[in-house]
Amino acid sequence: MILTTTHNIENFNIVDYLGIVTGTAYDSSYSSKGDKMSFKDMFSTSKYYEKYAIGLEFIKEKAFQNLKDNAKKLGANAVVGIQLDIEPVANSTTLLVSITGTAVKVEE
């Protein structure tokens, strides 16, 4: 599946617009694949940012997979005009990642 932030794909023609699709995911920003940050690591700036970055990448991957699954359900082979939004959930360590785009069918 082709994913792009642009509204067209070079060397491909969009033959059908199938609708807007989203992919969302949320989890603690301090864990990835069940590996949580220790209390001690929270006071180490480098470990804190490293765990945060790994956790965010894991959440984004889940959201992109959900986006692709939703596009496939519509019969799409590409998603164009992708926008990514990352929001912290109030009073928690949870991040919400929401990805939106237009599901399309393309041909070379």
**Dist CA 27 CA 25 (whole Å):** 7
Q: Does pTM top 0.75 for this prediction? A: yes
- Could you tell me if 18 and 105 are in contact, meaning their C-beta atoms sit under 8 angstroms apart? yes
**Domain covering 2-29+61-107 in this structure, CATH number:** 3.30.110.70
Nearest alpha-carbon partner for 76 in 18, 24, 23, 20 = 18
Closest CA to 48 of 72, 40, 6: 40
pLDDT tens-digit profile of 14-62? 999 999 999 999 887 555 555 565 666 666 677 777 777 888 888 999 9
Task: Give the residue extent of every domain in the chain.
Answer: 2-29+61-107
Q: Residue 52 phi/psi, 5° resolution?
A: -60, -45
How many other CB atoms are found less than 10 A from the CB of residue 71? 25
